[in-house]
Amino acid sequence: MSRESQQDSRARDTRHRAGGILVEFCLSVMALWLIAAAIVDLGRAFSAAHLLQSAARSAAREIALDDETAWNAPFQTALERVFDRNYLVVDAGCLEDLALEAGTTPDFELREALQGRVLNLALKPLMIFEDVQLDGRQNRLIRYPGALLASGQEDEQETCALENYTVGIPEINDEDSRIDIWPVVAELVEGSYSLEPSGGSSIPPGTATLLIRYPFQAVALTAWRVVDGFNQPLLASENDGYQTAFREDLAEGVATLDALDARQSDGGLQAYAQNGLGKTLPVYGGRLGLGVQGVLGREVRPYRRVITAQAMAPREVIGAGSNL
């Protein structure tokens, strides 16, 4: 073999090796990206679950020590002492104005407004920032994740809490083609708070039972379903025809905000995370807060799970007016 032939052969081998290294690098990067995304998102989920359980325990304990609630009062009466549902949605611009006047920070002003609301303060780290365009007006909100709903109340504008909005937790029921909307906080065992005996319950009367829901939705992981033995991304449009059902323990008068559509490029609800280009990713976007992601030119749902925390505590102090 001539020297020129040997040189050509070595050059071809070098190019082949370089191409193989590039392919291996691309495959390795994809695997590393998947692992990193899983670590970050699942870490968020574990952190949220821990915080949620801690919040449930603290709130149940505080309710159990309430000394101003009558012995047969409903659970909601005691809950209002530790949780103000109006502060599920807060006007961030209002907080910024207050902070500017007082020389403080918006976070400080929000904490001041939530003084005494043990559960609101405990859930504060889980709240998100969102830009909402409704009726041609752009608003920046701080709110609990989930479906942004019209509360059916008038906003008296006395505080930064937006009383005309509230939040519900959507849960998809594929079997019945229905999306159930649950309250963020509810009594775990109905009627257990009252000291009046109620038959058929394994929980003794006078027990504060609490249930908190949190809709975890991933930033980098996509929801999927098995189709013909293969995992297929869950398209954002698959739930469009589902009926919406509000659960009985959700506040009366609530309604969906049909103007919120994360798939509208000129408006809608944009939430929570930004990519490297500064474009907002609607992780909790859409009419029901189910989120939208872009994968291979398709709009899909982010991976989501409704995390719940439960806590119980026996009442230790009975309010005035007790007949016991």
Pairing mode, strands 89-91 and 137-143? antiparallel
What pLDDT sits at residue 218? 86
What residues contact 120, with CB distance under 8 A and at least 6 apart? 82, 83, 84, 87, 114
Could you tell me the residue ranges of all domains in the chain?
3-314
Residue 28, Cβ density class (10 Å: 0-12 exposed, 13-18 middle, ≥19 buried): exposed
What is the pLDDT confidence band of residue 300, given thresholds at 50, 70 and 90?
A: confident
pLDDT in tens, 200-237: 667 777 888 999 999 999 888 888 887 777 778 888 77
Q: Are 300 and 220 in contact (CB under 8 A)?
A: no
pTM value surpassing 0.85: no
Is 18 a residue whose pLDDT tops 60? no
Q: Which residue has the higher pLDDT, 162 or 33?
A: 162
Which comes out higher in pLDDT, residue 38 or 178?
A: 178
Tens of pLDDT, residue by residue over 164-174, are 889 999 998 88
Q: Which residue has the higher pLDDT, 140 or 120?
A: 120
pLDDT score of 272 more than 50: no
pLDDT of residue 269: 37
pLDDT at 265: 39
Q: How far apart are CA 277 and CA 263, in angstroms?
A: 18
Q: Over the stretch 54-76, which tens digit does the pLDDT of each residue have?
A: 999 999 998 888 766 666 778 88
